Chain A
Amino acid sequence: GESVGLHLPTLSVQEGDNSIINCAYSNSASDYFIWYKQESGKGPQFIIDIRSNMDKRQGQRVTVLLNKTVKHLSLQIAATQPGDSAVYFCAENMKAAGNKLTFGGGTRVLVKP
């Protein structure tokens, strides 16, 4: 079936640099795309979401970009800090399916001091 796809790389980034995490999705019917952060031993934590009718949304130090043409989602973290070290997941939400929330495989971000 259709699903959010995300390879499972590890991204090593120097403290203070910008991080970019990418995600490919296949379900064009999704209404929202969401980025979650998961620290060791904790549940996923909401970072930011974007509606399918938008192409960019900014939060505090984070920006999400959506390219529906190529079904690609990215999360940019500005001035990466040690506290940003975690696994990041993209997820898609389908209102037509009762707000079904489907996750991809995750990217581990390691921030080097």
Chain B
Amino acid sequence: EAGVAQSPRYKIIEKRQSVAFWCNPISGHATLYWYQQILGQGPKLLIQFQNNGVVDDSQLPKDRFSAERLKGVDSTLKIQPAKLEDSAVYLCASSLGWVNTEAFFGQGTRLTVV
């Protein structure tokens, strides 16, 4: 079974630039999560989708971050404009949803803002 795919693997941008991350969850997984993991900390939930609807985006900085999952499968997370403090690993995870709670994570995208 293929895992959660994320791209790019690494990204370096200057502050005030924009960046987008892509996630392809495991086939059939209804729930998709985006997490931000700052070095030395646990992952922080940014946004959670159930199919193509948003379940929770309470910790998403909506003035600069946006995410979509238009067809209930792939998802993109965008930052515009980026700040130095956005440097982190952005993790995507998916789970079957209501039946099974086990979430599977991708390898993440390491973003460095300079």
Contacts and interface: CB of A to CB of B under 8 A. Distances in A.
A: interface residue count bin: 20 to 34
B25 to A, nearest CB: 12
B87 interface: no
B102 A98 contact: no
Contacts, number: 70
B35 to A, nearest CB: 8
B42 A103 contact: yes
Given A98-B48, A98-B55, A100-B55, A49 B40 contact: no
Interface string A74-108: 00000000000000010101010111111111100
Given A46-B104, A49-B101, A105 B56 contact: no
A106 B39 CA distance: 11
Contact of B31 (A42, A89, A99): A99
Given A98-B55, A100-B48, A44 B91 contact: yes
Given A98-B50, A99-B95, A100-B56, A46 B103 contact: yes
A101 B42 contact: no
A34 B41 contact: no
Interface stretch (B12-20, B62-70, B76-84, B105-113): B105-113
B55 A43 contact: no
Contacts of B50: 98
A8 interface: yes
Give the one of B33, B43, B105 with max A CB within 10 A.
B43
18 contacts: A8-B41, A42-B107, A43-B93, A44-B91, A46-B103, A49-B101, A97-B55, A98-B48, A98-B55, A99-B97, A99-B98, A100-B45, A100-B48, A103-B35, A103-B42, A103-B43, A103-B44, A105-B42
Given A34-B101, A97-B56, A106-B40, 12 more contacts: A8-B40, A43-B106, A43-B108, A49-B101, A49-B102, A89-B43, A95-B98, A97-B55, A99-B48, A100-B45, A101-B33, A105-B41
